[in-house]
């Protein structure tokens, strides 16, 4: 007998092994959120949830609730951000993401904050860094490209697997040139490197960062300062790599010395170079594809971990750009 997926049914699930208040959300807000995304009604009664709706929708909701329970058992705290991510995954491929997201903490930051991947894409990114000497992370803003690279770099330094960290990025944004900015070199480049400082301050005490910078163990400098150097036993992060030219990218990659590793991050939808100059991040994907020890990881709007509206903004712009190309 074939199943009628449009038939209305009712299923009851008993919540075991987790605090149902954390699963349901304050005033059952998470259950209400599920109702807005699925053609179902959800009623919480003690340790039970009654799900009513079409067979197809009920099955999705039950899988999603199972995913949320798994996430709670992994020791995570459910948030609206994660719930929206899990909803998207279930609607897209029928399964929640909890089983594919790493539970391993990369680093314990300030205020005992545990820093670890929050999406499947981020897990693949961190795995790639662990298994390769050079990793390119390409994706939109808010996907954790820079933040996770900084976290891994700090963790590697603390574990004494590298002797120093080098953070760099091209000082080209919105056509602004360093020579037109006031102050000495540090004053000129710091605005470009602020995202790296912000990530570091989330992971280490400011006094500790200052001391490590003074001793050259942490270096934060514009890409132009890398020319002619050889970086040994270093974890090197090149941020905003979409704004490198082809020669600049080659120059950076050939700086790596013995026992060094590199992570290169960028968003190819946010290129600030002149139109007649090809981004080194786009070009390098064609040149280095397939080389063992080098990995390319693509992150998407699904991996956005900023404000809930950021994912919608990115999707809207991508849709607009696609219409523009077709038109």
What tens digit of pLDDT does each residue of 91-138 get? 988 899 999 999 999 998 877 788 999 999 999 999 999 999 999 999
Q: Is the pLDDT of residue 304 over 90?
A: no
Mean pLDDT score, 145-150: 96
* Residue 165 near residue 153 (C-beta atoms within 8 A): yes
What confidence tier does 320 reach under pLDDT thresholds 50, 70, 90?
A: confident
Q: Is the pLDDT of residue 149 over 60?
A: yes
Of 38-47, 60-69, 184-193, the one with minimum mean pLDDT is 184-193
Q: Rounded to whole angstroms, what are the CA distances from 149 to 48, 115, 209, 235, 300?
A: 42, 11, 16, 10, 17
The beta strand positions in 15-119, using DSSP E, are: 40-45, 48-54, 107-108, 114-115
Apex 78 CA angle, 74 and 83, nearest 5: 115
Q: Is the pLDDT of residue 22 over 90?
A: yes
Mean pLDDT score, 213-226: 92
> Which of 321, 327, 303, 281 is closest to 145 using CA atoms?
303
On the 0-12 / 13-18 / 19+ scale of CB atoms within 10 A, 261 is: buried
Sequence-separated (6 or more) residues with CB below 8 Å from residue 155: 106, 107
> What percent of the chain has pLDDT above 90?
67
* Residue 42 near residue 4 (C-beta atoms within 8 A): no
Straight-line distance from the first to the last Cα atom of the chain, in angstroms, rounded to the nearest whole number: 49
Q: Is the pLDDT of residue 240 over 70?
A: yes
pLDDT for res 159: 95
pLDDT for res 184: 55
What confidence tier does 305 reach under pLDDT thresholds 50, 70, 90?
A: confident
Calculate helix-pair angle for 185-201, 145-158, nearest 10 degrees: 80
Most confident of 81-85, 239-243, 312-316: 239-243
Per DSSP, the residues of 182-225 read -SSHHHHHHHHHHHHHHHHHTTS-HHHHHHHHHTTSEEEEEGGG
Three-state DSSP at 296 gives strand
Say how far residue 129 (Cα) sits from the centre of its chain: 13
Determine the Cα–Cα distance for residues 38 and 34; give it in Å rounded to an integer: 6
pLDDT for res 174: 36
* Residues in the chain, overall count: 327
* Residue 256 near residue 285 (C-beta atoms within 8 A): no
HSE value, Cβ hemisphere, 13 Å, CA-based, for 142: 17
Q: Is the pLDDT of residue 2 over 70?
A: no
Mean pLDDT score, 10-18: 92
Only one residue has tokens 């949830």, namely: 49
What confidence tier does 264 reach under pLDDT thresholds 50, 70, 90?
A: very high
Mean pLDDT score, 169-175: 65
Phi, psi values for residue 283, rounded to 5°: -65, -40
Mean pLDDT score, 18-41: 92
For the stretch 267-295, pLDDT in tens is 999 998 888 889 999 999 999 999 999 99
pLDDT for res 316: 82
pLDDT for res 176: 42
Average pLDDT, the chain: 88
Rg (CA), the chain: 23
> What percent of the chain has pLDDT above 70?
90
What confidence tier does 205 reach under pLDDT thresholds 50, 70, 90?
A: very high
């Amino acid at each position: 007998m074939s199943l009628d997926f449009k038939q209305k049914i009712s299923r009851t699930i008993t919540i075991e092994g987790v605090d149902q208040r954390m699963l349901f959300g304050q005033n059952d807000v998470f259950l209400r959120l599920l109702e807005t995304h699925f053609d179902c009604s959800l009623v919480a009664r003690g340790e039970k949830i009654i799900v009513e709706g079409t067979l197809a929708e009920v099955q999705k909701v039950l899988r999603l609730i199972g995913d949320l329970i798994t996430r709670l058992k992994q020791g995570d705290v459910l948030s609206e951000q994660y719930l929206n991510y899990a909803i998207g995954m279930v609607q897209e491929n029928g399964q929640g993401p909890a089983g594919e997201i790493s539970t391993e903490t990369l680093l314990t930051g300030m205020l005992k904050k545990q820093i670890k991947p929050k999406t499947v894409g981020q897990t693949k990114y961190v795995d790639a860094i662990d298994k390769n000497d050079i990793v390119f992370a390409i994706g939109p803003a808010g996907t954790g490209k820079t933040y996770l690279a900084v976290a891994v770099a700090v963790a590697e330094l603390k574990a004494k697997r590298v002797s120093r960290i080098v953070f760099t990025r091209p000082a080209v944004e919105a056509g602004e040139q360093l020579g037109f900015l006031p102050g000495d070199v540090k004053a000129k480049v710091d605005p470009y490197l602020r995202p790296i400082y912000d990530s570091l301050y989330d992971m280490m005490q400011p006094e500790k960062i200052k001391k490590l910078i003074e001793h050259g163990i942490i270096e934060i400098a514009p890409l132009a300062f890398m020319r002619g150097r050889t970086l040994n036993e270093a974890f090197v992060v090149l941020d905003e790599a979409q704004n490198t030219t082809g020669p600049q990218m080659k120059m950076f990659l050939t700086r790596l010395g013995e026992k060094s590793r590199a992570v290169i991050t960028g968003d190819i939808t946010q290129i600030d170079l002149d139109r007649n100059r090809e981004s080194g991040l786009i070009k390098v994907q064609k040149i280095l594809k397939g080389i063992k020890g080098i990995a390319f990881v693509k992150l998407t709007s699904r991996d956005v971990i900023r404000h809930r509206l950021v994912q919608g903004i990115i999707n809207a712009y991508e849709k607009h750009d696609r219409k523009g190309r077709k038109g």
